Amino acid sequence: MQDKAVYEFAIIRVVPKVERSEFLNVGVILLSKKLRYIDMKYILDKQRLSAFSDHIDFDELQNYLEAWDAVCRGKSEGGKIGELPEHERFRWLTASKSTILQCSPVHPGIGLNVEQKLEDLFQKYVL
């Protein structure tokens, strides 16, 4: 059990019309505080998203996702939030929001390879 690491993850959702509470899963963000690991993976499927609404600004949505990715990875483009420790960046990204880009509730897990777990979760919940 010593080789296993506890992790937390949330599904990244696009909510085109917040008032309708409809969403499409577009990514996953995963944190292992013990390993000081945080990463996210996403895909912007314009065809699937167009089924929800014909008023989505895909360039703006792509910019939002890239900003989240910069914060997640601790890049300078992530601003002051990108400078925070991994677990604080994760909490900021997964905090409840009422915007077009939201996260599911945070879920716990335990596993041997968090990089592979991120890929597995992406395959299961997004693709």
* pLDDT tens, N- to C-terminus, the chain (127 residues): 467 999 999 999 999 887 788 899 999 999 999 999 999 999 999 999 988 878 889 999 999 999 999 999 998 888 999 999 999 999 999 998 888 899 999 999 999 999 999 999 999 999 9
Q: Would you kindly state where each structural domain of the chain is located, as residue ranges? A: 5-125
Which whole-number Å values give the CA distances from 80 to 17, 74, 85, 92, 100, in the listed order?
29, 9, 11, 12, 22
Which whole-number Å values give the CA distances from 125 to 13, 69, 119, in the listed order?
10, 18, 10
Q: What is the pTM of this model?
A: 0.92
Helix, coil or strand: residue 4: coil
